């Protein structure tokens, strides 16, 4: 994986792909599936996500204030759903799903090599955590696999139904 | 357009489609293109969006605390980009782009009939507006055109490049 320019991070998150959220607490990494996220700022890239306090990842994210947001290719769909259908409370998901990891540079949670992009993030605003489970994250480092830069992603439409990226339109736009 | 059950709203927003945001201030409606949004709660459906204070819609949204979030079909792509590339400061976008509207029930901004789904929303949390331009919205009423319920949507990848929804995967999931 190669470094991705900070100004390009929004191109990964803005289209609304299903992502994986990796956390780590007391030396134990965990990972969940997530589609409730959005961009908040271009540079430094900031994003927001909602993690329910019913998710095992919630306490780790709130306590450690760091995570990795990883973007899986559409080919990983079955594994992505399975990761979302069990809990880190009783499952080592990295072992169970045979995920390949490598250490991140700035945060304790690992990068996920099965994913074509990984964002090392720090929590920078927790004011809406109690009311809405809403965390604002700042991306510290971004990584992309250049061989999979154009990987198709998944968009969750509810109850295990996903649209995969289809044809690409290129229209003249004066704006990012 | 028919009422859409509140519990199904997340199926529209979670996949990350490009949407239109309609506001209305002093009797003048306006509309902008937006991709920085996410779900926050299933029921009552709440979503969050980021509107920059550089957008003409920002002041209207902050002052009136209401809006319509409308989901355009992929066939509307050129118009969606054009709406994003001009400003309500000097343009009546509804006239310029020939958008068809009808009155909403609960809010002043209009529903957009060109779009296959419309969400009437009220701003319910402004605590992150100053820091991040982040508004939390609650959906008061949701509308869908039953004839276009499965319309394909647009996912913005930056600089006018969009992925259109492609093939659909249906995988067993125990969760919404």
Work out the pLDDT band at B99, boundaries 50, 70, 90.
very high
Please report residues of B whose CB lies closer than 8 A to that of A40. 36, 50, 132-134
Whether the pLDDT of residue B176 is over 90: the answer is no
Q: What is the pTM of this model?
A: 0.97
Determine the Cα–Cα distance for residues A119 and A128; give it in Å rounded to an integer. Answer: 22
Whether the pLDDT of residue A172 is over 90: the answer is no
Contact A158 B14 (CB under 8 A): yes
Q: Which of A65, A4, A13 is nearest to A39 (CA)?
A: A13
Whether the pLDDT of residue B166 is over 90: the answer is yes
Determine the Cα–Cα distance for residues B143 and B163; give it in Å rounded to an integer. Answer: 25
Q: Which two tokens stand for residue A16?
A: 């609304």
B168 touching chain A per CB within 8 A: yes
How close does chain A come to B112, measured CA to CA in Å? Answer: 22
As beta bridge partners, residue B164 has: B154
Determine the Cα–Cα distance for residues A23 and A33; give it in Å rounded to an integer. Answer: 12
A136 touching chain B per CB within 8 A: yes
How close does chain A come to B165, measured CA to CA in Å? Answer: 5
Q: What is the 3-state secondary structure (H, E, C) of chain B?
A: CEECCHHHCHHHHCCCCCEEEEEEECCEEEEEEECCEEEEECCCCEEEEECCCCCHHHHHHHHHCEEEEEECCHHHHHHHHHHHCCCCCCCCHHHHCCCCEECCCCCCCCEECCCCEEEEEEEEECCCHHHHCEEEEEEEEEEECHHHCCCCCEEECCCCEEEEEEEEEECCCCCC
Q: Which of B176, B5, B78, B39 is nearest to A49 (CA)?
A: B39
What average pLDDT does this structure show over B25-47?
A: 97
pLDDT of residue B104: 98
What average pLDDT does this structure show over B47-64?
A: 97
Domains belonging to chain B, first-starting first, are: 6-164 (2.30.110.10)
Tell me what ipTM this predicted complex has.
0.97
A168 touching chain B per CB within 8 A: yes
Whether the pLDDT of residue B33 is over 90: the answer is yes
How close does chain A come to B40, measured CA to CA in Å? Answer: 6
Contact B48 A132 (CB under 8 A): yes
pLDDT of residue A60: 98
Q: Which two tokens stand for residue A41?
A: 């700022």
B86 touching chain A per CB within 8 A: no
Chain centroid to Cα A161, Å, comes to 19
What average pLDDT does this structure show over A37-59?
A: 97
Q: Could you give the 3-state DSSP secondary structure of residue A173?
A: coil
Whether the pLDDT of residue A173 is over 90: the answer is no
Contact A157 B39 (CB under 8 A): no
Work out the pLDDT band at A176, boundaries 50, 70, 90.
confident
Mean pLDDT of chain A: 97
Residues A5, A154, A118, A172, Cα dihedral to 10°: 0
Q: Which two tokens stand for residue B15?
A: 């996949």
Beta-carbon pairs below 8 A across chains A and B: 188
Burial of B127 (0-12, 13-18, 19+ CB in 10 A): middle
What sign has the CA pseudo-torsion A14, A17, A18, A22?
negative
């Amino acid at each position: 994986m190669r470094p991705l320019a900070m100004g390009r991070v929004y191109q990964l998150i803005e289209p609304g792909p299903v992502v994986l959220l990796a956390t780590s607490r007391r030396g134990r990494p965990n990972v969940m599936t997530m589609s409730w996220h959005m961009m908040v700022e271009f540079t430094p890239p900031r994003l927001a996500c909602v993690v329910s306090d019913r998710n095992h990842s919630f306490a780790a994210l709130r306590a450690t204030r760091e995570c990795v947001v990883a973007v899986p290719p559409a080919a990983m769909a079955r594994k992505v759903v399975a990761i979302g259908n069990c809990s880190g409370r009783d499952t080592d998901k990295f072992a169970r799903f045979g995920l390949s990891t490598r250490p991140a540079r700035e945060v304790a949670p690992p990068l996920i090599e099965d994913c074509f992009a990984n964002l090392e993030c720090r929590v920078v605003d927790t004011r809406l955590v109690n009311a809405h489970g809403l965390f604002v994250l700042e991306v510290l480092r971004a990584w992309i696999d250049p061989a999979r830069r154009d990987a198709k992603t998944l968009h969750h439409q509810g109850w295990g139904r996903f649209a995969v990226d289809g044809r690409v339109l290129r229209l003249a736009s004066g704006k990012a």
